[in-house]
């Protein structure tokens, strides 16, 4: 095998077959992955959920994962949020000429491992190689299909006054990890990405109740953005309890140095759940037994008043608004 990816690997010729054989086929192997033009799959019964997402992250590897793991988690979690058990996934790679083959192998291996854990089969794929400088390292797009568990119906529009809001763990870890990995601000902290496949987490909640109103994974814009989305889509108000929001101390420290709000830093393994108040405690106690949700907590509740707004009860008992999501996250220094 070559040391670096070249344009020949994307030409469709011998090098392409070699790459597919030694890499994708080897790691992704399952009954549905064949050399044919399309995967032939048994049709699930009932409703399916389908989602697609593109993954670009710089740097492509970071403490707690790499772009490969991220590309599986992102799509699996999107399906899980709709109450769908992940079934099939396709992936398309755009690789920059000169990309190290051993790094590609690490990424592909992480995808295979994560897919196995999430119980999803990678059934088709595509590889293109772009000239040097045309892409930044490696882009991956994944598309997934899942089967919705009967009786579960979630939507961003289903939050109701009285619902409790649960987050499945501490917030802002992935965003902080990437910020530190880019090493632009000279800050060091022991923070790893929360990147994780969350179907198991959702399944454990469905075990408690199917009456889950909203499940959404907090990705790019963080938990804060999700809360504003839901407040808008469901036309309800949200009241958070500042002291109840789990934040790792090191994440707080980094945010303090740069003047950033942890609620707006990306997560890749956190769900925000809106559920009936009488189920909240049981959900949290089940979540806390889960592998990826040990720090789950009720962080607030849904109100009828102030629709579209997210309020925060502060540590001194006063109330303020969470600043709505802005554009680019810029450190605030002076």
Residue ranges in contact with other proteins by CB under 8 A: 184-191, 248-250, 252-254, 256-259, 309, 312, 314-316, 318-321, 323-324, 326-328, 330-334
The residue to which tokens 């709000």 are assigned: 261
CA of 47: how far to CAs of 84, 87, 152, 198, in Å?
9, 12, 10, 20
Considering the complex, state which of residue 42 and residue 133 has its C-beta at the smaller distance from other proteins: 133
Tell the smallest beta-carbon distance from residue 334 to other proteins (Å): 5
Would you say the C-alpha torsion 142, 145, 148, 149 has a positive or negative sign?
negative
Considering the complex, state which of residue 195 and residue 312 has its C-beta at the smaller distance from other proteins: 312
Tell the smallest beta-carbon distance from residue 256 to other proteins (Å): 5
Tell the smallest beta-carbon distance from residue 311 to other proteins (Å): 9
CB atoms within 10 A of CB 240: 23
Q: Which helix or strand (DSSP H or E) is residue 86 part of?
A: strand 84-96
For 327, residues 6+ apart whose C-beta sits below 8 A from its C-beta are none
Considering the complex, state which of residue 212 and residue 247 has its C-beta at the smaller distance from other proteins: 247
Residue 292 token pair: 């990826």
Considering the complex, state which of residue 109 and residue 257 has its C-beta at the smaller distance from other proteins: 257
For 272, residues 6+ apart whose C-beta sits below 8 A from its C-beta are 165, 166, 167, 168, 214, 215, 216, 217, 218, 223, 226, 227, 230
Tell the smallest beta-carbon distance from residue 248 to other proteins (Å): 8
Considering the complex, state which of residue 45 and residue 318 has its C-beta at the smaller distance from other proteins: 318
Instruction: Report the alpha-carbon distance of residue 55 to residue 142 in Å, rounded.
Output: 8
Q: At what angle do helices 67-81 and 101-118 cross, to 10 degrees?
A: 20
Instruction: Report the alpha-carbon distance of residue 260 to residue 144 in Å, rounded.
Output: 33
Tell the smallest beta-carbon distance from residue 179 to other proteins (Å): 11
Tell the smallest beta-carbon distance from residue 269 to other proteins (Å): 20
Tell the smallest beta-carbon distance from residue 183 to other proteins (Å): 11
Instruction: Report the alpha-carbon distance of residue 266 to residue 221 in Å, rounded.
Output: 6
Would you say the C-alpha torsion 250, 256, 257, 263 has a positive or negative sign?
positive
Considering the complex, state which of residue 207 and residue 326 has its C-beta at the smaller distance from other proteins: 326
Tell the smallest beta-carbon distance from residue 273 to other proteins (Å): 26
Instruction: Report the alpha-carbon distance of residue 95 to residue 104 in Å, rounded.
Output: 9
Tell the smallest beta-carbon distance from residue 275 to other proteins (Å): 27
The residue to which tokens 């496949």 are assigned: 197
């Amino acid at each position: 095998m070559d040391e670096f990816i070249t344009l020949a690997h994307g030409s469709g010729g011998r090098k392409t077959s070699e790459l597919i054989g030694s890499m994708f086929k080897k790691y992704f192997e399952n009954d549905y992955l064949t050399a044919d033009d399309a995967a032939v799959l048994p049709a699930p019964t009932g409703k399916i959920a389908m989602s697609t997402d593109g993954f670009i992250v710089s740097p492509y590897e970071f403490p707690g994962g790499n772009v490969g793991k991220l590309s599986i988690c992102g799509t699996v979690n999107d399906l899980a949020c709709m109450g769908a058990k992940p079934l099939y996934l396709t992936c398309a790679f755009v690789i920059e000429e000169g990309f190290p083959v051993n790094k590609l192998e690490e990424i592909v291996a992480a995808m295979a491992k994560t897919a196995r854990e999430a119980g999803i089969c990678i059934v088709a794929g595509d590889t293109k190689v772009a000239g040097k400088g045309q892409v930044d390292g490696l882009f991956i797009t994944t598309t997934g299909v899942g089967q919705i568990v009967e009786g579960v119906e979630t939507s961003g529009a289903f939050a109701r006054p009285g619902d409790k809001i649960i987050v499945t763990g501490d917030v802002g870890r992935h965003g902080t990890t990437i910020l530190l990995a880019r090493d632009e601000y000279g800050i060091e902290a022991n923070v790893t990405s929360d990147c994780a496949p969350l179907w198991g987490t959702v399944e454990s909640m469905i075990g408690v109740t199917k009456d889950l109103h909203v499940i959404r994974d907090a990705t790019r814009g963080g938990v804060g953005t999700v809360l504003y989305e839901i407040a808008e889509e469901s036309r309800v108000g949200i009241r958070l309890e500042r002291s109840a929001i789990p934040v790792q101390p090191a994440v707080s420290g980094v945010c303090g140095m740069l003047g950033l709000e942890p609620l707006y830093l990306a997560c890749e393994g956190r769900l925000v759940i809106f559920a009936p108040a009488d189920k909240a405690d049981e959900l949290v106690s089940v979540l806390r037994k889960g592998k990826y949700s040990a720090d789950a907590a009720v962080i607030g509740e849904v109100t009828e008043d102030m629709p579209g707004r997210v309020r925060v009860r502060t540590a001194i008992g006063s109330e303020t608004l969470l600043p709505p999501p802005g554009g680019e996250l810029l450190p605030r220094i002076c």
